[in-house]
């Protein structure tokens, strides 16, 4: 059920973010930042997804979900999803990890190619450690990245990274606090089952560009963002 339901947020100038409630990518139009680089045109996938691992009480729980070409589903983070709701047009997830409740919400800044993801530890007897793995791309939103992989240069900034695609527009990924480790590893053959139903290419590759490590106390929140405004 969580994979059949989809969410969408927009910025009013042609850009958007979308996905499934389960967190899996099931169509080429799913992504955390699909920017309108020439508003309202030039829709380009810049940030594919943010994958969360929560360390709490000596256990590490992955909250993301992925389909892989060949039939494997891993990880299966949707199993920790206690509730999904909309606050107005803002999608909100609540995950249960032991006795802790972690809330996530996603929205876009009106008039800007900027997506925000906020995490709030609304209940817990101890702090949690968030490991946020960002996956990026650089392609027209109608295409898929397969044989020709885009190239990027990376510059560290405060709590984040500035990304410059070869021949493209720069964008930034940053958190309100925490440390970031630069990575550059392609993950191959994400499965896109809804594209297969349409008779179109049904797999894609995405680049793991960085991992944010953030400690979050009960009652505290942090915001991670991706945007083209430098």
The pTM assigned to this predicted structure is 0.96
Residue 230 has pLDDT above 80, yes or no: no
pLDDT, average across residues 47-54? 98
Q: Which string of DSSP letters, residue by residue, matches 169-195?
A: --EEEEESSSEEEEEEEEEEEEE-HHH
Share of the chain above pLDDT 90, in %: 95
Query: pLDDT tens, 79-136?
Result: 999 999 999 999 999 999 999 999 999 999 999 999 999 999 999 999 999 999 999 9
pLDDT band for 55, please (50, 70, 90 cuts). very high
192-220 per-position pLDDT tens digit: 999 999 999 999 999 999 999 999 999 99
> With contact defined as beta carbons under 8 Å apart, do 118 and 226 qualify?
no
157 SS3 class: strand
pLDDT tens digits, 143-175? 999 999 999 999 999 999 999 999 899 999 999
Q: Inform me whether the pLDDT recorded for 2 exceeds 90.
A: no
Predicted local distance difference test score (pLDDT) of residue 51: 98
pLDDT of residue 4: 83
What is the spatial order of strands in the sheet that 100-108 belongs to? 81-87, 90-97, 100-108, 114-123, 221-227, 171-175, 160-165, 152-157
User: Is 210:134 a contact under the CB 8 Å cutoff?
Assistant: yes
Q: Nearest CA to 53 among 75, 31, 73? A: 75
As a whole number of angstroms, the distance between CA 29 and CA 6 comes to: 11
């Amino acid at each position: 059920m969580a994979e059949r339901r989809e969410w969408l947020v927009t910025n009013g100038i042609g850009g958007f973010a979308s996905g499934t409630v389960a967190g899996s990518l099931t169509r080429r139009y799913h992504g955390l930042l699909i920017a309108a680089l020439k508003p309202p045109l030039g829709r380009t996938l810049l940030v594919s997804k943010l994958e969360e691992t929560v360390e709490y009480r000596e256990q590490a729980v992955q909250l993301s979900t992925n389909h892989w070409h060949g039939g494997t589903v891993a990880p299966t983070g949707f199993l920790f999803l206690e509730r999904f709701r909309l606050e107005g047009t803002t999608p909100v997830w609540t995950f249960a990890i032991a006795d802790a409740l972690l809330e996530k919400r996603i929205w876009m800044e009106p008039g800007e190619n900027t997506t925000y993801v906020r995490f709030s530890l609304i209940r817990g007897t101890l702090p949690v450690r968030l490991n946020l793995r960002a996956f990026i791309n650089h392609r027209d939103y109608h295409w898929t990245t397969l044989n020709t992989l885009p190239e990027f240069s990376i510059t560290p900034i405060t709590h984040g990274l500035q990304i410059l695609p070869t021949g493209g527009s720069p964008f930034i990924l940053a958190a309100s606090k925490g440390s970031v480790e630069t990575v550059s590893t392609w993950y191959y053959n994400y499965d896109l089952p809804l594209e297969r139903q349409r008779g179109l290419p049904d797999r894609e590759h995405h680049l793991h560009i960085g991992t944010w490590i953030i400690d979050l106390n009960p009652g505290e929140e942090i915001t991670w963002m991706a945007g083209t405004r430098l």
